[in-house]
Amino acid sequence: MRLTRVTLTVAAGALAPALLLSTPSFAAPVPPPTAVAAASDTGSPYDGMDIHDLRITILRILADPDSGRRVTQEINELLDHGTAEEIRAWLETGHPLAQAEDDLVALTRLLADPDSGKRVIREVNELLDHGTAEEIRAWLETGHRLAQFEDDAVAIARILADPGTSDALRAAASAALDEYTPEALRHFLEVGRYEVDG
**pTM (2 d.p.):** 0.68
One-letter amino acid for residue 25 of the chain: S
Which pLDDT does position 48 carry in this prediction? 85
Q: Residue 47: its pLDDT value, please? A: 82
Question: Model confidence over 16-67: pLDDT tens digits?
Answer: 333 333 333 333 443 444 444 444 455 778 888 889 999 999 999 999 988 9
Looking at residue 29, its pLDDT comes to: 43
Helices 118-130 and 144-161: crossing angle in degrees, nearest 10, is: 150
In contact, 83 and 75? CB cutoff 8 Å? no
Amino acid residing at 13: G
- Residue 7's pLDDT is 37
Q: Are the C-beta atoms of 196 and 169 separated by less than 8 Å?
A: yes
Tell which residue, 117, 106, 98, 18, has the closest CA to residue 58: 98
Residue pair 81/13 in contact (Cβ under 8 Å)? The answer is no
| Whole-angstrom distance, CA of residue 104 vs CA of residue 18 | 11
Give the CA angle between residues 34, 39, 41 to the nearest 5°: 95
Q: Taking the chain, what is the end-to-end CA distance rounded to the nearest angstrom?
A: 44
105: closest CA among 26, 175, 161, 184?
A: 26
- For position 41, what pLDDT does the model report? 52
79 φ/ψ angles, rounded to the nearest 5 degrees: -65, -30
Domain residue spans in the chain? 1-24+45-112, 114-198
